[in-house]
């Protein structure tokens, strides 16, 4: 089963081009170590929430954009081996991050629902939801039903991970 590394970061708006160059370099590195796909999304409609939101999760400052992205791997085992090899890769030492990496949030996720498949570049909506472990199966049912509704209204792909 595939495996997803997801991340959210805040990047100064003025560094957008530098970030694109960073992403191209990073994609090459991740693919060299087993990743199958990397998706980077520059926030353009990221609302502030009442309790939590992407802005607060990365301590976004004025003049910064929120990025949301993920790296897809064939399996968790491939990801674990790939990340170990990646950290030992000399090219990692020269990879410049045009943002404050200490404010990036990053985590690994096992897909639980996947419907359809996106081809090429499209628009991504992302969300993070805390689900008690005891409610995992119920969440999978809700996510599966929601995926069908999203697809009915034009979504090309829906992917939920835990």
Q: In what order do the strands lie in the sheet with 37-42?
A: 37-42, 64-73, 3-12, 105-109
Per-residue pLDDT of the chain in tens (162 residues, 90 and over written 9): 789 999 999 999 999 999 999 999 999 999 999 999 998 999 989 999 999 999 999 999 999 999 999 999 999 999 999 999 999 999 988 888 899 999 999 999 888 777 666 565 555 566 666 777 887 777 777 777 666 766 776 766 666 665
According to the CATH classification, is domain 1-109 in 3.40.50.150? no
- In whole angstroms, what is the distance from residue 97 CA to residue 153 CA? 37
- Picking from 140, 70, 143, 136, the residue whose alpha carbon sits closest to that of residue 104 is 70
The domain locations on the chain are: 1-109, 110-162
Cα torsion through 95, 101, 107, 113, rounded to 10:
-80
């Amino acid at each position: 089963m595939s495996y997803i590394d997801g991340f959210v970061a805040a990047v100064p708006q003025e560094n957008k081009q530098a970030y694109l160059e960073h992403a191209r370099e990073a994609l090459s590195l991740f693919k060299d170590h087993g990743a199958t796909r990397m998706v980077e999304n520059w926030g353009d409609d990221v609302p502030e929430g009442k309790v939590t939101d992407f802005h607060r999760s990365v301590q976004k400052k004025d003049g910064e954009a929120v990025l949301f992205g993920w790296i897809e791997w064939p399996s968790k085992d491939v990801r674990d081996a790939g990340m170990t090899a990646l950290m030992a890769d000399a090219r990692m030492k020269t990879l410049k991050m045009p943002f404050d990496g200490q404010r990036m949030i990053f985590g690994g996720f096992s897909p639980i629902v996947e419907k359809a498949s996106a081809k090429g570049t499209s628009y991504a909506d992302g969300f993070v939801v805390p689900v008690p472990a005891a409610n995992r199966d119920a969440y999978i049912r809700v996510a599966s039903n929601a995926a069908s509704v999203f697809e009915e209204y034009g979504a090309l792909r829906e992917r939920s991970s835990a």
